Structure 1
């Protein structure tokens, strides 16, 4: 798989493909159905498959505070698209210049001149270009003029309802990880590199691995039982807080994970955090002592959760046994 960042990095050898366009946040089962559609046509035509994505996502650019929570960080999205067998990913930086292109200019610069698309798969509700004036009808019109086909995406349903990123956000907000994982096709995870933090957890006797969310609003808020995969492939049980940490006047969203019975050094490692169950909402405590008391309670509840699932042989919410 080749990741191409920006139109300026497209080369002549990148011309000619079967493509799709979208945010692909979560790369869920609905997205995977689209990718299969793209790959099948690419195989039929003997062309590479390509996915066009945006960073930041358009709604994050126009109204960051009202933008939907992210299901997947960019690096995780790229890895999941690659795992689906996509040949090329074109990531377009979404900025004022790109947003100012008319619908026809977007098609010409990105699809015809840039990628040399032979066949395009998009939803019939896809909108693009300045003021979102470009639509499916314009794509078909320009495609007919330029010599490439435009077809609608297939709809994928689970439990008689369309799988979408919006639906998964709603399911996660309700802490239904069994259904969320079913819609995603994989356990719900957040990945990232462990960074140095304020060391408050260590002062409280509960050291944490801290992952920056890079100012992206997460789909989860609160305290959760989690499993953490380290770079050496080991799996650890623990408790995570994800949110703004109001008791210590946190501003940026962060993910902090305390692992049970762990004494190693995770700084600098890329880890994956899998969410199993919600323990409680995040809240502000009167002082640090009250916060510590609650953390001790959270840790015991989490140990009870894992012990119960392990002793009863019940699969954890992510499909792994306890």
Structure 2
């Protein structure tokens, strides 16, 4: 899968394709339905399948302090899109210039001049362009003018409610991992590289893999039973703390994973952590001894999840 980092990197060989547009945060079941329709059209027309996304996401540009926690960072999103056979991802830098484009200008400059799309697939609630003035009817109208067709993907419904990134986020905030998995169509995971930490876990008998997530906030916090992927043929079970570690410093957001009966050094490895179930909320302890006693209990509960 090719990543095109901005409109300025588009070349003649990128033209003539089928495409879809959106944030695709989480790549949940609703997004997957759009991707299936995109891939079907790409196969039928024998054209490349292109996903157009934005970085930062528009809400992060307009109101960064109020923006919701992301479900997926860019790298995680790209990993998910690759699984569905997408040919290319065009990642548009969302800035003042892009935000100022009218819906008509967006279609003309990005979709027509940049990509010469032949077919576009969008969600039935898709809005775009300055002040979100663009809509499906406008796409159909201008598609006739510029020579491309448009299809909308109906809302994906589970248990009478629309599947959305907001709904996934709410499930994660509540620690409801089964519902999050149902909406995503897969377990929720976070990815990152194992870095050197302060060695505090090792000092109390529970060495941890410290994974820096490069995100200021997360929809998920607390202590979890997890599996770690990427360093062994089989996923490795463990217990993880995701948060700011209030007993230690309470500032840096970090994912710490203690793997059961595991002694190898894995610094520098890029890993994926799958969240199985939430054990408790993160909390501050009065001493490291109290923290150690709680970790002993957490390990016992997590092992019961895997081995009972």
Quickly name the TM-score band, shorter chain normalised: over 0.9
State the Cα deviation string for residues 202-250 of structure 1 (Å, max 9, x = none): 2232111111121242221100011111333232111111112222233
Aligned to 2:185: 185
Q: 2:236 touches 2:259 (CA, 8 Å); kept in 1?
A: yes
Give the whole-Å Cα distance in 1 for the aligned partners of 2:251 and 2:116: 44
Please say which of residues 277-286 and 130-139 is displaced more in the overlay.
Answer: 130-139
| Distance apart, 1:91 and its partner CA | 0.9
Structure 1 unmatched ranges of 5 or more: 309-322
TM-score by length of 1: 0.89
1:140 matches 2:140: yes
C-alpha distance 80-205 of structure 1, shift in aligned 2 (>3 A): same
C-alpha distance 124-282 of structure 1, shift in aligned 2 (>3 A): same
Please say which of residues 4-13 and 159-168 is displaced more in the overlay.
Answer: 159-168
Please say which of residues 186-195 and 260-269 is displaced more in the overlay.
Answer: 186-195
Q: 2:227 touches 2:237 (CA, 8 Å); kept in 1?
A: yes
Q: 1:53 touches 1:91 (CA, 8 Å); kept in 2?
A: yes
Following superposition of structure 1 onto structure 2, how do residues 173-322 of structure 1 map, counting pairs within 5 Å? 173-308=173-308
Aligned to 1:21: 21
C-alpha distance 50-216 of structure 1, shift in aligned 2 (>3 A): farther
Aligned to 2:152: 152
TM-score by length of 2: 0.93
| Distance apart, 1:24 and its partner CA | 1.0
| Distance apart, 1:287 and its partner CA | 3.2
Following superposition of structure 1 onto structure 2, how do residues 69-84 of structure 1 map, counting pairs within 5 Å? 69-84=69-84
C-alpha distance 5-279 of structure 1, shift in aligned 2 (>3 A): same
Give the whole-Å Cα distance in 2 for the aligned partners of 1:297 and 1:132: 51
1:115 matches 2:115: yes
State the Cα deviation string for residues 113-156 of structure 1 (Å, max 9, x = none): 11111111112322222332333333233222212122211332
1:89 matches 2:89: yes
Cα root mean square deviation, aligned: 1.8
SS in 2 for 1:68: coil
| Distance apart, 1:284 and its partner CA | 2.1
C-alpha distance 62-254 of structure 1, shift in aligned 2 (>3 A): farther
Aligned to 2:54: 54
